Amino acid sequence: MDLPPTAPEPMALFLDFDGTLVDIAERPEAIDVPPGLPALLMRLSARLDGALAVVSGRPIPQLDEHLPVPIAKVGDHGGSLRVDPAGPVEGPPLASPPASWLARARLLADTFPGAFIEVKDHGFVLHYRQAPEAAGMAQGLLEAMVAEAPDHFTLMPARMAWEVTPRAVSKGTAVAALLARAPFAGRVPVFIGDDVTDEAGMAAARAAGGLGLRLQDSFGTPSALRAWLAALAEPSDTP
């Protein structure tokens, strides 16, 4: 494992949620959010003058439920964005997958006990963490689906899951959009994630002269990352 980096100054920090800030759970609704995490994010946001965003595949309302703090949030892998906690959720108009895709995916999941479908606003996820034998068939079915509309949808591998998501957006497009506006503009971006779905965000941060860090390589575990963030949130000694 690489050593955690020295934080650049001034920094804009982008953090994935599942698997990065919190441990992966058997099901999305079963995650355990450490009691001190919301307060830590508030201290960190103050330390960074607001240039902190949680960038997730979850919808923003779910992020609000788990992290009820007034910080910038990106949901749906870049499909929705809210910088001002009191402001509206922004995002481009996106198509949703045909209902027939979801029906076929559910039929497959139902044949493997433990597999299940997570429905999102503009896509869906086939989870097979509890049914690893479903991985190959799930991949084949979903690849065939997105091949029917390759200009609109793509298939992303995740940790023990496959996700159908709009092609037009990614965590990378969200990072680029945030870096063009206050309070993120003019800062060195650092994106931290743990999964293939985070790679576009990491690449966007690097392209803007910053860092894209894989949790497992630079920190090891979400708890180690939270300890690093807690140290980072301490007031600077620099006048």
Options 2, 16, 23, 121, the catalytic residue: 16
CA dihedral 157, 112, 19, 216 (to 10 degrees): -70
**Under a CB-based contact definition with an 8 Å cutoff, are residues 178 and 184 in contact?**
yes
Tokens of 132: 């690893």
Token duo for residue 112? 């493997």
Alpha carbon distances (Å) from 103 to 17, 91, 107, 141, 165: 28, 26, 6, 12, 16
Asked whether the beta carbons of 233 and 222 are under 8 A apart, the reply is no
Residue 16 annotated as catalytic: yes
174: number of Cβ within 10 Å:
27
CA distance 169 to 151: 12
Among the listed residues 126, 94, 122, the one whose alpha carbon sits nearest the alpha carbon of residue 112: 126
* Tokens matching residue 133: 């034998």
Active site residues: 16
